[in-house]
Chains A and B, each alone.
Chain A
Amino acid sequence: RKEVEQDPGPFNVPEGATVAFNCTYSNSASQSFFWYRQDCRKEPKLLMSVYSSGNEDGRFTAQLNRASQYISLLIRDSKLSDSATYLCVVTPGGSYIPTFGRGTSLIVHP
Chain B
Amino acid sequence: GAVVSQHPSRVICKSGTSVKIECRSLDFQATTMFWYRQFPKQSLMLMATSNEGSKATYEQGVEKDKFLINHASLTLSTLTVTSAHPEDSSFYICSAPGTGEGNTIYFGEGSWLTVV
Contact = CB atoms under 8 A, between A and B. Distances in A.
For chain A, give the interface size range: 20 to 34
Given A43-B108, A96-B32, A101 B43 contact: yes
A32 B97 CA distance: 12
Interface of B: 6, 32, 34, 36, 41-44, 46, 49, 91, 93, 95, 97, 102-105, 107-110, 112
Contacts of A46: 104-105
A99 B43 CA distance: 10
Given A43-B109, A43-B110, A97-B49, A32 B43 contact: no
A43 B46 CA distance: 14
B76 to A, nearest CB: 18
Nearest to A98: B105
B91 A97 contact: no
A42 B110 CA distance: 7
A49 B102 CA distance: 8
B112 A44 contact: no
